[in-house]
Amino acid sequence: MKTLSTTKYLLCLIAALTLTTSSALAQSAKTAAQVTTKTASLDDQLEDLGRVYKNDENKVLQELWLLGRFHGQYHWTEASTGSDTGYETRRFRLGGQAKMFKKATLHAQMVSGSDIDPFYNGFTELWAQWAFSPELALTIGQQKHRFTHDRNVSSRYINYLERSMLTNMFGVDYTPAITLQGRIKGLTYYTGFFTNATGQNMGKAFTDFNSGYSYLAAAYYDLGNVLGADSLTLHSTYVHSDANENATNFNTYDNGISAAAIATKGHFALVNELTTGLGSDRGNAYGMNLQPSYFITRERQLALRYQLAASNESDGLNAQRRYESPAGLGRGDLYQAGYFGVNYHIARHRLKLMTGIEYANMSGEHAWTASTMLRFYFGPHSGRAFPMNQILPLDYD
């Protein structure tokens, strides 16, 4: 186990108190209003954190952003098969984004390794986009592979320690690609061809296409306020992968299908996603990812999740690569997990503390994981269906 600095211990203590202090959940309306006012003021101050230039009248450069991300976390895992405990700098990224000529966007974001070792570990994103119209934009370069809504939500906005087990089993990551996207009335689409490998050497990643390819088609459809909801969005994705022995990404399943419904009502949100992976060497997998959440106040959010996954082979599933696998939880054909967490949004998603505890069971073996996390980022926002950048509701006064 790594030795923690005093700062890291304090971070863990502060986040743990966020979860355990019941008085915060029972505060008076007067106190909540005072806190909300202060937080809203901080939200406003940090709204454009990272933007260094904006001039819509400039014909060449309209916006220039610096962007970055720091995610630090500590976890305690106790399993029937062993234990694993430690601090990790989960994500550290730096980069920039420029909007030019009214139509073009240039985006570059380098990534460090775990615990910032090495400091430079390649790029998550290195792309150029030309928007012909709101209905059509072409993007070329290293970019995010957006299979499943769970994966499409940026790590800046996810409410949990990690994405779901089955999402992570697909091995989806950032690779060179050519994609098209746009919005046609209530439909937002995204499609393209991706290579199946990348690495620190971006020149090699952009020229050595010897890992196979994957094709992705995804769409969101906004149904508006139907069925009594404030918002209801449907999402679906399909991916086909023709990976070979050189592939480092999307090399588990030949085909993947997902379908999600994302609903909000007042302080409450519900995401339910079904995912299927077909054509693995270890059989097929099927899963459900149910994510209810509730804003107690504008700052404090309850986040819950239930995962269920099954395979038609006895060793078709693998426990979470982080935390569960190091504690000895291995392979199986049935996986269930339940998560309960409290998130404290100091400045919406730009700065927040998160705490949670998760119970997982893989074919009879089990693991408990408690975690405390700090999330911070600067740069432009992204927005699609909840929970991308939204704080619900917007009417706390």
Q: What is the pLDDT of residue 330?
A: 94
Q: d(Cα 377, Cα 268) in Å, to the nearest integer?
A: 25
As a 3-state breakdown, the chain gives helix, strand, coil percent values, each rounded to 5, of 15, 55, 35
Residue 393 falls inside a structural domain: no
Number of domains into which the chain is organized: 1
Residue 390 falls inside a structural domain: no
Residue 69 falls inside a structural domain: yes
CA 297, 299, 300, 305 torsion-angle sign? positive
Residue 133 falls inside a structural domain: yes
Alpha helices in the chain (DSSP H): 6-20, 29-46, 149-152, 165-169, 202-205
Determine contact, residues 70/90, Cβ cutoff 8 Å.
no
236-271 pLDDT, tens digit per residue, is 999 999 999 999 999 999 999 999 999 999 999 999
Phi, psi of 196 (to 5 degrees): -110, 20
pTM (two decimals): 0.88
Number of H helices, E strands in the chain: 5, 19
Q: What is the pLDDT of residue 43?
A: 81
DSSP 3-state of 80 = coil
Task: Record the tokens describing residue 5, joined without a space.
Answer: 């600095």
Amino acid sitting at position 376: F
Q: d(Cα 361, Cα 364) in Å, to the nearest integer?
A: 6
Concatenate the DSSP letters of all residues of 232-272 into one string: EEEEEEEEEEEE-TT--SS-S-SEEEEEEEEEEETTEEEEE
Q: Which domain holds residue 103?
A: 6-378
**Do the strands 255-265 and 231-243 form a parallel or antiparallel pair, or are they unpaired?**
antiparallel
HSE on the CB side for 68, CA within 13 Å?
9
Q: What is the pLDDT of residue 154?
A: 96
User: How many other C-beta atoms can be found within 10 angstroms of the C-beta atom of residue 273?
Assistant: 24
Residue 1 falls inside a structural domain: no
300-350 pLDDT, tens digit per residue, is 999 999 999 999 999 999 999 999 999 999 999 999 999 999 999 999 999
CA 140, 143, 148, 149 torsion-angle sign? negative
Residue 330 falls inside a structural domain: yes
Distances (CA, A) of 221 to 184, 186, 235, 259, 262: 10, 6, 6, 11, 10
Q: d(Cα 148, Cα 275) in Å, to the nearest integer?
A: 8
Task: Record the tokens describing residue 247, joined without a space.
Answer: 């592939």
Residue 389 falls inside a structural domain: no
Phi, psi of 64 (to 5 degrees): -140, 125
CA 143, 149, 151, 156 torsion-angle sign? positive
Determine contact, residues 170/188, Cβ cutoff 8 Å.
no
Name the residue among 266, 157, 263, 142 with its Cα closest to residue 204. Answer: 142
Task: Record the tokens describing residue 320, joined without a space.
Answer: 């979470």
Determine contact, residues 217/200, Cβ cutoff 8 Å.
no
CATH number at residue 147: 2.40.160.10
User: How many other C-beta atoms can be found within 10 angstroms of the C-beta atom of residue 70?
Assistant: 18
Q: What is the pLDDT of residue 19?
A: 42
> Could you tell me if residue 136 is left (phi over 0), alpha (psi between -120 and 50 degrees) or otherwise beta?
beta
Name the residue among 344, 372, 375 with its Cα closest to residue 76. Answer: 372
The per-residue pLDDT string of the chain (397 residues; one tens digit each, 9 = 90 and over) reads 444 444 444 444 444 443 443 333 334 334 444 444 444 568 888 989 999 999 999 999 999 999 999 999 999 999 999 999 999 999 999 999 999 999 999 999 999 999 999 999 999 999 999 999 999 999 999 999 999 999 999 999 999 999 999 999 999 999 999 999 999 999 999 999 999 999 999 999 999 999 999 999 999 999 999 989 999 999 999 999 999 999 999 999 999 999 999 999 999 999 999 999 999 999 999 999 999 999 999 899 999 999 999 999 999 999 999 999 999 999 999 999 999 999 999 999 999 999 999 999 999 999 999 999 999 999 999 888 999 998 887 665 4
Residue 142 falls inside a structural domain: yes
